[in-house]
Homo-oligomer: A and B are copies of this chain.
Amino acid sequence: MNPRLRIGELAIQCGVALETIRYYEKVGLLPEPMREANGYRVYGQGHVEQLAFIRHCRALDMSLADIHALRQFATQPSGDCGEIDQLIETHLARVHERLTSLQNLERQLLTLRATCASGRCVQECGILHELVAAAQGDGCVCHTDDTPGNN
């Protein structure tokens, strides 16, 4: 019942590129597997589970460092759960921040797109004009009394 997988099989089973598996091993996230006589890696159930855990955390967009930390916590079963909470809390805050900034971003891009009535030439492209104009309002005090394009 205990599967003895080669790297390619593990890769397919867990939906991971096999280079990624070797990479996780190299950075110490996945324990080194045993080897066949020819040097090929052999994986067992433990590896399957660990890799799935890593991929699930990555799907939650946690960094490899976070995942490493979670593994460390897990090896000290009597430790305080609070650090795990904290890690999730911090991560959640990061995600939330990126989320709101992406929402702003989308709004801006939608506005930008709306300035274009296509079929015209670049010279009168609303988008390009808008981008240039917006840049000028962005922070630089720009008196355009200079031919643009070169110092």
Interface positions of A (Cβ within 8 A of B) = 1-2, 13-15, 31, 33-34, 42-53, 55-57, 59-61, 70, 73-74, 76-82, 84-85, 88-89, 91-92, 95-96, 98-99, 102-103, 105-106, 108-110, 112-113, 116, 118-125, 127-128, 131-132, 134-136, 138-151
Contacts and interface: CB of A to CB of B under 8 A. Distances in A.
Nearest to A83: B122
A122 B81 contact: yes
B88 A46 contact: no
B84 A128 contact: yes
Given A60-B105, A70-B128, A108-B60, A147 B88 contact: no
Nearest to A79: B122
Given A46-B146, A52-B138, A102 B99 contact: yes
Contacts of A102: 95, 98-99, 102
Nearest to A112: B88
Given A49-B132, A78-B123, A95-B109, 12 more contacts: A31-B151, A42-B151, A49-B144, A51-B140, A52-B136, A52-B139, A57-B131, A60-B108, A73-B125, A74-B128, A82-B118, A102-B102
